[in-house]
Amino acid sequence: MGKLGLIIKREYLAKVRNKSFIIMTFLSPILIVGMIVLIAYLTEINDSEKRIISVLNESEFLSKEFEPTESMSYVLFRDLTLQEAKDSTVSLGYYGLLYLPKGMDLENVAESSYLFTKDNPNTSVTQRIESIFQKQLLQKRLGKLGVSSEQFSDIEAQFEINLAAFSGEKSIKGINEIKAFIGGGFGYAIMMFIIIYGGFVMRSVIEEKTSRIIEVIISSVKPFQLMLGKIIGTSLAGITQFTIWILSASLLLFLIALFFGIDFGVMDANASMPRGPIGGVAQFSNSLDSDTMLYANEILNIPWMLLISSFLIYFVLGYLIYSSIYAAIGAAVDNETDTQQFIFPIILPLMLGIYVGFFSVFSNPNGPIAVGFSLFPLTSPIVMLMRLPGGIGEGGVPLWQLLLSIGLLIVTFLGIVSLAAKIYRVGILMYGKRPTYKELFKWLRY
């Protein structure tokens, strides 16, 4: 085994055998699953109330479609103006008002129908109402177009009800968010990984400094080898931990679902948007619902291979960049309390990536901010992954942007790692002083 291999092995074992690491590894899935179960349980309780929707139907369509269900019932208003209907809905304390205007055909009526609610409507309510419309529209369109399966899904995907608050603003709801959430999930995973395991790298460097073993070691290996071995070893430990988390959490969820019969679909349908790939998986199993089919379809349409392979590229490069910065910080200081001033500038681009990503990519995946942040190397691992579920090329990310972003990331990687290695090399042998940025800059020239 080469020296690098020895270092990787030691770092890995040191991390994996650490008691707090073991406890975290096995406790976290239980905590996470516990949370999910609790949330699912609470949502079920929360959702058990019956909702009443008043319907003001000025058209001749859909007159017989509003059948009460377990959780919803309808009150039909007649001969009221829209304003009167709104007022009575509010004063009667109903959940919302569904308004269907006069119209010549179903299409027009459906297009200009509104659901008025006090707050943003619950997804299960909108889904229920949308499905009433969809059924009718489907029947009508099928008649016109002839029946084939492609056309079926085509038609099905076309309708969404308009939403509005009583005040009149339109609320939007779209598949973009779902996609960005899935990409965001990957980006978020990268960020968490960097923050957790980058911190581990840093602490491990500080430990070597404070235990004074560092000079013994670098008289046998190059500082760069040690730094690289540390980063790789720690990240392998991290990947082990992540894998255990995902496997055991899914196993636990599966077992709990099996034994207690909790329907996790409830949670997905009720959350304003499904979160990440796990939400997506849960939805496949629950695909009886036609709206869920719609989501499922979109999720299947996401270029998973592209997404996963880019995830790996961005993950490796992004993690190497950040963890080498963490290693340099660890080398520059004598104890963890001195790291604060240096940590913040690292966390900043990561946070910026997540938040700017969530806001800008959601509203417009190809807007200038989204593009800018998905090219900028310190935020691109997160933001580009949010954009990628839209695919490459038409309607998605232009290929040149993806390539440029990866290219910039590689250049930055080489630059940052060599700078970090310089600071590391000098820093590990410096004791006693709390370095300033100015001093770090001087070290680069030693």
Partner 1 sequence: MDNILVAKNVSKSYGNYTALSNISLEIPKNCIYGLLGPNGAGKTTFIRIINQITYQDKGEVLFNGQPLAPEHISHIGYLPEERGLYKSMKVGEQALYLAQLKGLSKQDAKKRLKFWFERLNIGDWWNKKIQELSKGMAQKIQFIVTVLHEPKLLIFDEPFSGFDPINANIIKDEILQLKDKGTSIIFSTHRMESVEELCEYIALIHKSEKILDGKLSEIKKEYKNNIFKIGLEIEQNGDALLKQLEEKFNILSSSFDFQEKQLDFTVQLPSNNTRDVLLEISKQANVNRFEETIPSANDIFIQTVNNKEDNG
- Residue ranges binding partner 1 (CB under 8 A): 1, 3, 6-7, 10, 14, 18, 207-208, 211-223, 429, 431, 442, 445-446
> What is residue 281's three-state secondary structure?
helix
Is there a contact between 98 and 115 (Cβ–Cβ < 8 Å)? Answer: yes
Q: What are the Cα distances from residue 341, in Å, to 134, 161, 432? A: 57, 51, 17
What distance in Å separates the CA atoms of residue 28 and residue 34, rounded to the nearest whole number?
10
- Give the number of other Cβ atoms within 10 Å of residue 211's Cβ: 9
CA dihedral 108, 109, 112, 117 (to 10 degrees): -160
Q: What are the Cα distances from residue 240, in Å, to 16, 22, 133, 234, 248? A: 9, 11, 49, 10, 12
- Give the number of other Cβ atoms within 10 Å of residue 289's Cβ: 17
Q: Please say whether the dihedral angle defined by the alpha carbons of residues 364, 368, 373 and 374, taken in this order, is positive or negative.
A: positive
Compute the least distance from the CB of residue 11 to partner 1, in Å. 11
Query: What percentage of the chain's residues is helix, strand, coil (to nearest 5)?
Result: 70, 5, 25
What distance in Å separates the CA atoms of residue 339 and residue 335, rounded to the nearest whole number?
7
Q: Which is nearer to partner 1, 208 or 268 (CB)?
A: 208
Q: Which is nearer to partner 1, 275 or 422 (CB)?
A: 422
Compute the least distance from the CB of residue 232 to partner 1, in Å. 16
Compute the least distance from the CB of residue 324 to partner 1, in Å. 20
Tell me the backbone φ, ψ of residue 428, rounded to 5 degrees. Answer: -65, -20
Q: Which is nearer to partner 1, 94 or 200 (CB)?
A: 200
Compute the least distance from the CB of residue 25 to partner 1, in Å. 17
Q: Which is nearer to partner 1, 237 or 296 (CB)?
A: 237
Q: Which is nearer to partner 1, 24 or 281 (CB)?
A: 24
Compute the least distance from the CB of residue 210 to partner 1, in Å. 8
Q: Which is nearer to partner 1, 102 or 434 (CB)?
A: 434
Q: What are the Cα distances from residue 303, in Å, to 183, 320, 437? A: 11, 26, 43
What distance in Å separates the CA atoms of residue 403 and residue 41, rounded to the nearest whole number?
45
Q: Which is nearer to partner 1, 167 or 211 (CB)?
A: 211
Compute the least distance from the CB of residue 219 to partner 1, in Å. 4
> What is residue 360's three-state secondary structure?
helix
What distance in Å separates the CA atoms of residue 114 and residue 150, rounded to the nearest whole number?
29
> What is residue 169's three-state secondary structure?
coil
Q: Which is nearer to partner 1, 18 or 112 (CB)?
A: 18
Compute the least distance from the CB of residue 320 to partner 1, in Å. 23
User: Which residue, among 146, 202, 180, has the nearest Cα to 325 in the 3D structure?
Assistant: 202
Compute the least distance from the CB of residue 218 to partner 1, in Å. 5
Q: Which is nearer to partner 1, 135 or 222 (CB)?
A: 222
DSSP bridge partners of 115: 98, 163
Compute the least distance from the CB of residue 341 to partner 1, in Å. 22
